Structure 1
């Protein structure tokens, strides 16, 4: 119970700060105070507005905000979000471009489960929509999943990916971003051994920790500097009273956010100080650069304890993927079994999370794949975020990935399945 109490204490602190911000804004905006030309009141109102918004975002799931897309016909087409596969810990969703004929190029984006929602890839989705049928894994916040649904670790995550790939059929082109890259590689190998007719057409791995020993970073150093007992004691708590997942062991999103901010505390502090001054001068807006970034950055989700702990132990400490020793549901996966799925890796020169060398290691593991079906790209000057959502992605990497898909499409087995026709589709009205 003490861990549940700690979880509720963190939520109480967040709630209190949100309330303090709202109170400061309301008090400093009291009409009678307009008669007092005191800049301190303007600063207090600005501080309150920024503070209330920031702490409120920490428990909100961002909307996709993708309402329409301009296609080759020059028209704006409405976009609806359909659920193709619904599962307790994550769904497979489709961005359905209405009024457009189905595009031959089918893409499955595998979103990371590393503290943020799948909406972190919003700009990636937007950039691909004009040229592809886009699907994405929409992982759920563990605090909202009842304990009765059971566990969810790296093996369960991998099996979810296997099911999603099977649902979309062998003509799908999979793009895994960051954290899921090694598990997506394992899922592809699992299909290659178990159900080769359902392998995807291509696999693109972007900035993922395939071999964490290839190029150490602060993230990998942390993973090796602590024991699993220390992690479980300091990072794991039980979901508190306010959520459906009460009692579930999780790595709390608020605790993750504290770690994220502490890594660049000075930069974040300056960003919020500058935003308060912009609010004072009347220069801030709901959609300014600061709010667009931090509305997403501050929106964090809990991970199940077993997923977090097995990720650290098996992916970072034991490096099971890099050693080709990863086991899924009692089956030892052989990455060398991938023989007809073209594989491409993308890395950023200045990536300080998955440094260059970690992701490209996947190509050496694909021993059964000819060199003609392997490709790699190192983006000069790009950091971690830039290789999947920044200007480097839009201007350089995205065209290369689409060219790679087009060059290797059709090499998968001939058997295909219609996309999601066997599963009921449920429109997400909140996202439309």
Structure 2
């Protein structure tokens, strides 16, 4: 119960700060105070507005905000977001562009489940919609999932990806961003052994920790020096009574956000101070750069305890993917069985989360894949966010990925001895 108490305590602190912001904004907005030409009054209202908005965003799931796009025919086409596969811990969504001719490129974006919602890839989706038929994994907030739904660890995550790939078929091009890169590689290898006709055409891995020890960072160093017992004691709590997942063990989003902010506390503090001053001077707007960024950054979700702990233990500490020793549902996955799926890795030279060297390790694991099916790219001067959503993605990486997809869109010839050929014989 003490873990449930600490979960509710964090929510109480968040709720209190939101209330304080709303109260300060309301009090400083009394008409009578307009007769007092003191900057403290406008500053108080500005502080209240920024504080209320910030703490309110922490429990809100952002909307996609993608309503239409302009296609090559010069017309605006409505974008409908439909659920293709619905599961307890995550759905497969489709961005259906109404009235558009069928698109040759079918892309599955595998969104990270590392504290933020899939909407973190909103700009990535938008950049691909004109040229691709886009699908995305939409992971659910663990606090909203009843305990009766069971567990969800990295093996379950991998099997979800297997099901999504099977649903979309073999003409799919998969792009995995950050955290899910090693598990997406494992899911592809799983299909290569269990259901080779369901394999995707291409697999693009962007900034993912395939081998965390290839280039150590602050993230990998933390995972190495902290024991699993310490992590479970300090990070895991039980969902409080306010949410449907009451009693479920989770790594709370608010606790994750604290860690995110602590890594660059000076920069975040300055950003909020500057925003308060802009609001007090009447220079801010609802969709200015600060609000666009922090509306997404502050919106965090809980992860199931078993997913978080198994990620740290099996991906970072034991390096099961890097050693090709990953087991899914009792089956040892052999990444060397990937022989037909073209694989490309993308890394950022200034990535301080998944540093250069961690993601390209996937190519060495694909021992059964010919060199002509392998590709890699190191984007100069790009950080972690920039390689999938920033200027580097838009100007350099996206065109390169589309070219890679086009070059490998034709079905790959089956190698001799595949199960299908053996059966036919």
Q: TM-score, normalised by structure 1?
A: 0.95
Q: CA deviation at 1:410?
A: 1.6
- 2:165 is the counterpart of 1:159: no
Asked if structure 2 preserves the Cα contact closer than 8 Å seen for 1:197 and 1:413, the reply is no
Distance 1:294 1:332 in 2: 41
Aligned position for 1:417: none
1:388 counterpart SS class: helix
- Any residues of structure 2 matched to 1:25-424 within 5 Å, and which? 25-412=25-412
Distance 1:204 1:24 in 2: 48
Distance 2:389 2:93 in 1: 19
1:131 counterpart SS class: coil
2:389 counterpart SS class: coil
| Of 73-82 and 344-353, the range deviating more from structure 2 | 73-82
Distance 1:410 1:145 in 2: 40
2:375 counterpart SS class: strand
Asked if structure 2 preserves the Cα contact closer than 8 Å seen for 1:144 and 1:244, the reply is yes
Distance 1:392 1:245 in 2: 39
Distance change in 2, residues 1:413/1:163 (3 Å): farther
2:411 counterpart SS class: coil
Asked if structure 2 preserves the Cα contact closer than 8 Å seen for 1:217 and 1:355, the reply is yes
Q: CA deviation at 1:102?
A: 1.7
2:250 counterpart SS class: strand
Aligned position for 2:5: 5
Asked if structure 2 preserves the Cα contact closer than 8 Å seen for 1:171 and 1:412, the reply is no
Distance 1:191 1:413 in 2: 16
Distance 2:372 2:304 in 1: 39
Distance 1:104 1:381 in 2: 32
Distance 2:152 2:225 in 1: 25
Aligned position for 1:421: none
Query: How many correspondences in the alignment?
Result: 414
Root-mean-square deviation over aligned CA pairs: 0.7
Aligned position for 2:423: none
Q: CA deviation at 1:328?
A: 0.2
Q: CA deviation at 1:336?
A: 0.1
Q: CA deviation at 1:411?
A: 2.6
Asked if structure 2 preserves the Cα contact closer than 8 Å seen for 1:250 and 1:303, the reply is yes
Q: CA deviation at 1:412?
A: 4.2
Structure 2 residue ranges without an equivalent (≥5): 415-425
Asked if structure 2 preserves the Cα contact closer than 8 Å seen for 1:199 and 1:412, the reply is no
Distance 1:173 1:248 in 2: 35
Distance 2:409 2:228 in 1: 42
Measured against aligned partners, the alpha-carbon deviations of 1:178-233 in whole angstroms (never above 9, x if no partner) come to: 00000000000000000000000000000000000100000000000100000000
Q: CA deviation at 1:384?
A: 0.1
Higher-RCO chain (CA-CA 8 Å, sequence separation at least 6) = 1
Distance 1:79 1:262 in 2: 38
Distance 2:413 2:312 in 1: 35
Structure 1 residue ranges without an equivalent (≥5): 415-432
Measured against aligned partners, the alpha-carbon deviations of 1:42-91 in whole angstroms (never above 9, x if no partner) come to: 10000000000000000000000001111111111110100000000000
Q: TM-score, normalised by structure 2?
A: 0.97
Distance 2:67 2:286 in 1: 18
